[in-house]
Amino acid sequence: MSRPSLAVLITYHDEGDLLVRSLETVAAQTSAPDEILVYDDASYDPAERHLGRFAGLCRVVRSGKNGGPGYGRNVLLGETRCDYVHFHDADDLLLPSWGGKVWDAIDRGRPDMVLTEVCYEMHGVLSDRIMGFKKLEEDPDLVRFALSSSILPASATVRREKALEAGGYRTRDVMPQSEDFDFHLRLAAADATYAVVDESLVRCMWREASHSHAGDNSAACWTSMVESLKMAPPAVRERYAVAVADAAARAASNLYQLGKPGDARKAYEAAASLGRPSFAGRSNAFRWVAGFFGPMAAENLSRFNRDWRNR
């Protein structure tokens, strides 16, 4: 049986020299990918200007209209013919052993997905294994995991045919944010098989100007996540009703913390319509108040208690 082919698909929008750093780590792989494609999302600072010595190693697909990362990933998914694809942001870095270990996992069983851990750098502080894939050893249900944790594109390598079967990414006219959460939930719901490499093989960098952090996008991430849950396949909503409701309630709580009480109320209403949230991880007092007076009352009381303690 011949070895499957592997493509690294990079979305770029004005990251500038960060693209060079990212390409350096792709070129430094001990087992190089078969193809490197860069999607330039109508950047003011074109990706072509930053290829330098990597111009012969990758191909740029440039759009004349800004469509967002989900649209760009769909374009790249259509451009490549490799068997496996790794969606990559232009400011993320691959560790040298990434390719070899991903290929080893593919060779062992041809899974639909290879999940690798990610380390995350924020303000000079590095956090290791942020995805928490170790939890899949205790509960191997990928749908349940996808509902409780947002799987990052940097942490996944996906069989191209499975990504197409799942419908690719929803674009920002439908899913302004949280398109990654939505895509991986649909992959899991499509019974994707997977293998885990419990080692941080990708380094993600926090940037204030990134897609999910710029402007008011943090709140949009949580509201989009709720919309994704409402659009989840019926089988998921039925079989995982509590987990779906808990995911919506988690989004609601984050919206409350971000100072968006109106959006939080709508998200809690969505959670109640999707199932009966257990408010997992919340205090007994929060769950008691939420059960009798509603989750917004519980949030208000929790905030009052925090403010009182901090006086």
Q: Pick from 184, 205, 226: which residue ends a domain?
A: 205
Same structural domain for residues 62 and 166? Answer: yes
Same domain, 167 and 266: no
Take residue 264 and report the two structure tokens written for it. 């939080």
Quick one: tokens of 137? 């050893």
Is residue 1 one of the residues assigned to a domain?
no
My answer on whether 112 and 234 are in the same domain is: no
249 and 194 share one domain: no
Residues 153 and 55 in one domain: yes
- Examine the domain organization and report whether 62 and 139 are in the same domain: yes
**CATH number of the structural domain spanning residue 45:** 3.90.550.10
Spans of the chain, pLDDT less than 50: 211-215
What pLDDT does 210 receive? Answer: 54
The verdict on 187 and 109 lying in the same domain is: yes
Domain final residue, candidates 173, 205, 237: 205
Please state the domain count of the chain: 2
Same domain, 24 and 114: yes
Are both 55 and 141 inside the same structural domain?
Answer: yes
How many CB atoms are located within 10 Å of the residue 237 CB? Answer: 19
Q: Which domain holds residue 280?
A: 217-309
Q: Is residue 225 part of a domain?
A: yes
Q: Give me the pLDDT at residue 227, please.
A: 97
Same-domain pairing of 176 and 301: no
CB-CB neighbours of 24 under 10 Å: 14
Residue 212 lies in a domain: no
Q: Does residue 183 lie in a domain region?
A: yes
- Residue 293 in any domain: the answer is yes
Q: Which residues pair with 299 in a beta bridge?
A: none
The mean predicted confidence, pLDDT, of the chain is 93
Decide if 14 is inside a domain.
Answer: yes
Same domain (yes/no): 197, 153:
yes
211 falls within a domain: no
Does residue 195 share a domain with residue 152?
A: yes
Six-digit token string for 146: 């996808």
